[in-house]
Each structure stands twice: as C-alpha cells, then as structure tokens.
Amino acid sequence: AQKITQTQPGMFVQEKEAVTLDCTYDTSDPSYGLFWYKQPSSGEMIFLIYQGSYDQQNATEGRYSLNFQKARKSANLVISASQLGDSAMYFCAMREGLSGGYQKVTFGTGTKLQVIP
Amino acid sequence: DTAVSQTPKYLVTQMGNDKSIKCEQNLGHDTMYWYKQDSKKFLKIMFSYNNKELIINETVPNRFSPKSPDKAHLNLHINSLELGDSAVYFCASSQDFHTLPGELFFGEGSRLTVL
C-alpha cells in the first residue's frame, strides 16, 4: 500500500493566486514527520516545510503553510501569492521510525505545479 | 562549500559496464541515503547507512552495492549496468532521528544514462 499519496499529477495556478497541493499518508507510527520538498526543472531537491505528528499548530514558512489534519491523515501544502518561480515538482514525504531509533523517509509521486502569468 | 556533494554529475555508459557514484557530506550528519529517481520522477529509497552501518536495504538488485568508509561518505557501485538503471541517483544525509525536524539534505543528483 502507498504510504504517501499525492493524487494531483499536475496543477495550474494563476500568478498571485493561492494553490493547495494535496497529500495523504498512512502510518501506524505515533511519532512521525511530514515534509514538503520542491524540485525545480534544474533538478535539485529543496526542503520547504516540516510538520511533526505532535505539533499542535500548522507549520508555516513564509508563503508556504501546511494544512495538517491528523484525523484525516492529510498534510496539504498551501502556497500563497504564487510566483512564476514556484513552477516545479512538489513532493510530500513522511519520516517514520524504525527499530533501533533509525528513520525512513518515503516520498509521494509528486505534483507538477505550473504558474501561469 | 557544498553540504552534500556527488560525483560525477553525469554518467553515460554502455550496458554491462560497472560504474560508481561517490557522495560526501560535510554537515556532520550520522545518516546517509541513496535514492533513485526514475523517468516519472518517482523517488525511491535504495539504501540508508547510519555511522557506516547499513540500516535500510530496499528491494534492490544485488548489482547495486553501497559502501560507507566513514560516516561522511557513502558510495554506490553498480555492476553489469542495464538499461533500466538509467535514472537520477540522489545522495542525501540527515541528523539522527531524535533531532527534529530531521529533514534530508540532498546532493545535486547524478544522472546515469545506460546505452
């Protein structure tokens, strides 16, 4: 079964508008973390935002915010005031604990966001 | 000064050859990873090492052999290359599990093309 599901392979958004990228996850680990990464066409992986499973408040980083709904197991990324430079692939990822205190980070299939001028 | 560096960045080779990709991190992290990103952009974990010890070994053909001489280095050797091995291979590192947020720091990726 998929651990991380991103159901939107592609999205379009008008410049200056807000956009929500969906992510749902599946884990039985009570302590986990959720990440969003951006991969522009140049290929590097850029860390955007993090939400811990015990965090009471939704994470925010500048124009990025994470809409964390624990009961629904969703961790959607909201980008406000989209800019042309936001055009990229966006990956949701989940960190789970392994025995021995180690961790494993699993990625979703990604959403390709295109910002239209 | 690059935090996670991979070499080479591009690799073009023939089927059946053997090749290696090297990775080094100067962040002082204990854990390092290899991920494979295929043509559909799917990122799949291959291996993870913690302080030179193999932690994660996903379902990867035996032709792939990681080696970690010390906690700052994690190399990937691939024997008998096949067409399906063509992909971008990312090295990453992270602090230990107890240090939050524990995000992965990625290298720039190594694009392997097998002809």
pLDDT digits (tens, 9 = 90+) for B17-60: 999 999 999 999 999 999 999 999 999 999 999 888 898 888 89
- Give yes or no for residue B97 having a pLDDT over 70: no
Provide φ and ψ at B85, rounded to 5°. -80, -10
Query: Are residues A84 and A115 in contact, defined by beta-carbon separation less than 8 angstroms?
Result: yes
Largest separation between any pair of C-alpha atoms in chain B: 43
Pairing state between β B64-70 and B73-78 = antiparallel
B28: left (phi over 0), alpha (psi -120 to 50) or beta: left
Residue A116 pLDDT level (bands cut at 50, 70, 90): very high
Query: With an 8 Å Cβ cutoff, is B106 touching chain A?
Result: yes
Q: How far apart are CA A58 and CA A75, in angstroms?
A: 9
What pLDDT does residue A81 have? 97
Residue A77: both structure tokens together = 């990324």
Partners of B56 on chain A (C-beta within 8 Å) are 98, 102, 104
pLDDT digits (tens, 9 = 90+) for A72-106: 999 999 999 999 999 999 999 999 887 777 888 99
What pLDDT does residue A98 have? 79
Query: Are residues A82 and A13 in contact, defined by beta-carbon separation less than 8 angstroms?
Result: yes
pLDDT digits (tens, 9 = 90+) for A23-58: 999 998 888 999 999 999 999 999 999 999 999 999
* A33·B55 Cβ contact <8 A: no
